[in-house]
């Protein structure tokens, strides 16, 4: 039976005096792709950042495989839980140099395999700051995957990309899920939710309003979820 990778128990997060998450309860399963959606400012990216300890709750608990996150070594945890951000963050140097910041001992062959995986075969010697936006995002994904994470967090990674680059990253997320590396993906895009999601988590006003199998959520949404999804589809 499929289990849970992350659990959120009465989680409260405050930023600049405002409660972003309000006694949030829910989970992310240990399989396939979980899409986290919700209105702007609802707290979905904060929920994602909790999973990588980039944010921490002021109250409540976040657990990874049943162990509270604050009991885990943060660096080791981030090696297991990789993250791809909305904006790519190329570092000075070549593309190969960038990938080795994630795994310094990576061989040239491992670098090339990692780049080919994201459609950047032969890019190792190029300067990272000369890449297009889509190429830079794929490089950052290759850098994340080179650490061999067991779970990947995607925070709207395709929101500024063209259709071709978006397709490459979506297809890779699906391939990862197919070989047992699940992920969580934040999006505002209804079409993307339909293409990717196996499990849906809908965050509204700092709480998980509904979650479950995506087909079940779409077939019988809660009233607040129905209003949000209707707005997404128009």
Separation CA 45–CA 185 (nearest Å): 9
Tokens of 36: 């986290």
Tokens of 141: 């994904």
pLDDT band at 2 (very low <50, low <70, confident <90, very high): low
Asked if residue 185 has pLDDT above 80, the reply is yes
**Mean per-residue pLDDT over the chain, rounded:** 94
Residue with the two structure tokens 């790519």: 88
pLDDT band at 1 (very low <50, low <70, confident <90, very high): very low
Question: What's the Cα-to-Cα distance from 92 to each of 56, 105, 111, 147, 225, rounded to whole Å?
Answer: 30, 18, 17, 19, 43
Closest listed residue to residue 65, CA positions, set 21, 20, 29: 29
80: which DSSP letter?
A: H
Tokens of 139: 């490089």
Q: What are φ and ψ of residue 134, in 5° steps? A: -65, -40
pLDDT at 123: 97
Query: Which residues on neighbouring strands pair with residue 140, listed in sequence order?
Result: none
pLDDT digits (tens, 9 = 90+) for 64-107: 999 999 999 999 999 999 999 999 989 999 999 999 998 999 99
Please report the beta strands in the chain, taking only residues with DSSP state E, as ranges in sequence order: 4-15, 18-29, 33-37, 59-64, 67-68, 81-84, 151-155, 183-186, 199-204, 207-213
Separation CA 202–CA 143 (nearest Å): 29
């Amino acid at each position: 039976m499929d289990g849970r990778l992350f659990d959120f128990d009465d989680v409260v997060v405050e930023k600049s005096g405002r409660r972003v998450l309000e006694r949030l309860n829910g989970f992310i399963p240990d399989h396939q792709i979980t899409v986290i959606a919700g209105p702007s400012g609802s707290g979905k990216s904060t929920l994602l950042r909790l999973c990588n300890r980039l944010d921490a709750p002021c109250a409540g608990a976040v657990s990874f495989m049943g162990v509270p996150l604050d009991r885990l070594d943060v660096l080791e945890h981030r090696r297991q839980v990789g993250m791809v951000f909305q904006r790519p963050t190329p570092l000075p140097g070549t593309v190969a140099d960038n990938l080795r910041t994630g795994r310094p001992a990576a061989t040239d062959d491992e670098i090339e395999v990692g780049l080919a995986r994201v459609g950047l075969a032969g890019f190792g010697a190029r300067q990272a700051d000369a890449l297009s936006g889509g190429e830079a995002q794929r490089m950052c994904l290759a850098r994340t995957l080179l650490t061999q994470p067991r779970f990947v967090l995607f925070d709207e990674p395709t929101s500024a990309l063209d259709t071709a680059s978006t397709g490459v990253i979506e297809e890779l997320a699906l391939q990862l899920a197919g070989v047992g590396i699940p992920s969580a993906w934040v999006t505002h895009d209804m079409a993307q939710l339909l293409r990717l999601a196996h499990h849906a988590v809908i965050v509204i006003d700092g709480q998980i309003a509904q979650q479950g199998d995506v087909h079940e959520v779409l077939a019988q949404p809660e009233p607040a979820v129905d209003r949000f999804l209707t707005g997404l589809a128009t």
